[in-house]
A and B are shown apart, each in its own frame.
Chain A
Amino acid sequence: DSGVTQTPKHLITATGQRVTLRCSPRSGDLSVYWYQQSLDQGLQFLIQYYNGEERAKGNILERFSAQQFPDLHSELNLSSLELGDSALYFCASSALGQIKQFFGPGTRLTVL
């Protein structure tokens, strides 16, 4: 158990809908990272937050957004969903400057 929690574990929705994925980092970790893992793109970094502020951006679509709240949990919002958004979404956490990231169990999103 990495100490990072993600909910829900599975999510099935329809095209055009909006969903919110939630992540709670390990106790004491201020950095949260979001990744998308799909069969065709592999594991891709989406976005990072540190103590409530956006710190780095990767291959995140404009339809996707994220935020980190004062209690350090983070939410990834995916809107206008398309079939190609079906993937496993991971959250990871670390202390700033720490090399090792601890991954959550992931949320498997299926868009029908």
Chain B
Amino acid sequence: AQKITQTQPGMFVQEKEAVTLDCTYDTSDPSYGLFWYKQPSSGEMIFLIYQGSYDQQNATEGRYSLNFQKARKSANLVISASQLGDSAMYFCAMREGLSSGGSYIPTFGRGTSLIVHP
């Protein structure tokens, strides 16, 4: 079974509007965390936001917020006031506890392509 599912291969949004990118996850580990990364056409992976399973409040970083619903196992990314520069691929990822090497190894979804129209 897929651990991270991003069901929207592509999304379009008008500049200055808000957009929600969906992410659902599957884990039985009580300690886990969800990430969102942005990959513009230039190729680099840019960290946007993170939320751990025990965090009480939804994470926010500037225009990015994570709508975390544990019961539904969803961790949607909300981008407010979209800008042209937000056009990119967006990846949801999950880490489950510590690896044997003492690190967090994330599993990535297949991504959602976001295009912001002027």
Nearest-Cβ distance from residue B98 to partner chain A, whole angstroms: 8
What size tier do the contact residues of chain B reach? 20 to 34
Task: Decide if A25 is an interface residue (CB 8 Å cutoff).
Answer: no
A110 to chain B, nearest CB (A): 14
Judging by beta carbons under 8 Å apart, are A55 and B43 in contact? no
Q: Is the interface of B mostly helix, strand, loop or mixed?
A: loop
B105 touches A50 (CB 8 A): no
Q: How far is the CA of A33 from the CA of B33 in the complex (A)?
A: 18
Residues of B within 8 A of A45 (CB): 105-107
Q: Smallest CB–CB gap between B113 and chain A, Å?
A: 13
Partner of A99, one of B46, B99, B104: B104
Interface size range of chain A in the complex: 20 to 34
Q: Is B62 an interface residue when CB atoms closer than 8 A count as contact? A: no
User: Please, what's the 1-or-0 string for B29-52, where 1 marks a CB less than 8 Å from any CB in chain A?
Assistant: 000010101000011111100101
Produce 1/0 per residue, B46-71, CB < 8 A to A: 11001010000000000000000000
Give chain A nearest CB distance to B48 CB in angstroms.
10
- Given contacts A43-B91, A43-B108, A103 and B44 within 8 Å (CB-CB): yes
Q: How far is the CB of A108 from chain B (nearest CB, A)?
A: 7
CB of A100, distance to nearest CB on chain B (Å): 6
Q: In the assembly, what is the distance between CA of A45 and CA of B99, in Å?
A: 13
User: Is A15 an interface residue when CB atoms closer than 8 A count as contact?
Assistant: no
Q: What residues of chain B have their CB less than 8 Å away from a CB belonging to chain A?
A: 33, 35, 37, 42-47, 50, 52, 91, 95, 98-111
| Chain A contacts to B: CB under 8 angstroms | 2, 31, 33, 42-45, 48, 50, 54-56, 58, 88, 90, 92, 94, 96-106, 108
A-B contact list, 27 entries, CB within 8 Å: A2-B44, A48-B103, A48-B105, A50-B102, A54-B101, A55-B99, A56-B99, A56-B100, A56-B105, A58-B105, A90-B45, A94-B103, A96-B102, A96-B103, A97-B102, A97-B103, A98-B104, A99-B33, A99-B50, A99-B104, A101-B104, A102-B47, A103-B44, A103-B45, A104-B44, A105-B42, A105-B43
